[in-house]
Chain A
């Protein structure tokens, strides 16, 4: 089966600009996650979707970050305006439905964002 797709793979922007990342999960996976991974740290969950509903977005900086998952399939994460501290790898992951009792996550390759 195809894996989790993310684009772009790399992005360089100047501070105060805006940027958007796209993720397409594995077909049939109901749960989708966005993480921020700063160099040398573990991934930090930004937002978790179950179908097109938000399960958790407690660590999403809502003044500048937004995410949506229209139709419960692919998703976009936006940053506007970007700050220097947003430089990180943004990871998307997906999981099968709850009924499968399988909560392991399948990760995409990530988008490396550099804010200058």
Chain B
């Protein structure tokens, strides 16, 4: 069984300040973990993925995430927010030892203030 919890439904930051979007997961197998972004009226796009290589994963647009097995976390960070980062962000877990069936979190809405 697997599940994913995005701890914040909304995160509000000022432009130029750091971003932290939190994600905890539960998995019976070694998981693959992903972050996707959904801009208004646009399709879902992959930001980054963890599939058992380096625990610190770098993605597009300056985002990165760190896989912490002991904390069952995969938080998404960015050093400096840009107005264009305003979007909905989804954390996804997929059991690599199972059938690779993905489970989405409920999403975190990132609001960026000028």
Q: How far is the CA of A1 from the CA of B63 in the complex (A)?
A: 25
Which stretch in A18-26, A66-74, A80-88, A101-109 binds the other chain?
Answer: A101-109
How many B residues touch A, CB cutoff 8 Å?
Answer: 21
Q: Is the CB of A42 within 8 A of B46?
A: no
Q: Is the CB of B90 within 8 A of A42?
A: yes
Most A CB contacts (10 A, CB to CB) among B34, B96, B102 go to: B102
Q: How many residues of A contact B (CB 8 A)?
A: 24
Q: Mark B11-54, 1 if CB is under 8 A from A, else 0.
A: 00000000000000000000010101000000111100101000
The residue on B at minimum CB distance from A108 is B43
User: What is the interface of chain A, defined by CB distance below 8 A to chain B?
Assistant: 31, 33, 35, 41-45, 48, 55-56, 91, 93, 98, 101-110
| 30 contacts across the A-B interface (CB closer than 8 A) | A31-B100, A33-B102, A41-B106, A42-B90, A42-B104, A42-B106, A43-B44, A43-B90, A44-B104, A45-B101, A45-B102, A45-B103, A45-B104, A48-B99, A48-B101, A55-B99, A55-B101, A56-B101, A98-B100, A103-B96, A103-B100, A104-B49, A105-B34, A105-B36, A105-B44, A106-B46, A107-B43, A107-B45, A109-B43, A110-B43
